[in-house]
Amino acid sequence: MSHCPFCKKKIAMSKAFCSRSCKENYFQLIAIQVPKLFLRRLYTLPKEDREVEIEQFSHRHGWRLDLLRNKIEEEAIRMGYIEDPTLKN
């Protein structure tokens, strides 16, 4: 058994993804590029303004909002703007 690269469900070895939506989400998530300057600017804004900026950025580039938020969170953790919620001391 192998695992779906997007949702991590177990799938047959002959399949690459568990569903068409997982395949589309996976490749769109790879395509999303968040510039470092945009990320830095996001974390200097208040939370309400940050959400508005993320929605405008998503609409401008034609990306799904939930995938963009996930990508921004990953990048923010990687760059040290926020702490990883899975690493609890």
Task: Give mean pLDDT, residues 10-33.
Answer: 92
pLDDT tens digits, one per residue of 30-80: 999 999 999 999 999 999 999 999 999 999 999 999 999 999 999 999 999
Give the pTM.
Answer: 0.81
Backbone angles phi, psi at 2, to 5 degrees: -120, -175
Let me know if residue 84 belongs to a domain: no
Distance CA 8, CA 2 (A): 9
Query: 31: how many CB neighbours lie within 10 A of its CB?
Result: 11
Domain count, the chain: 1
Domain that holds residue 52: 2-11+19-79
Let me know if residue 89 belongs to a domain: no
Let me know if residue 35 belongs to a domain: yes
SS3 20: helix
SS3 11: strand
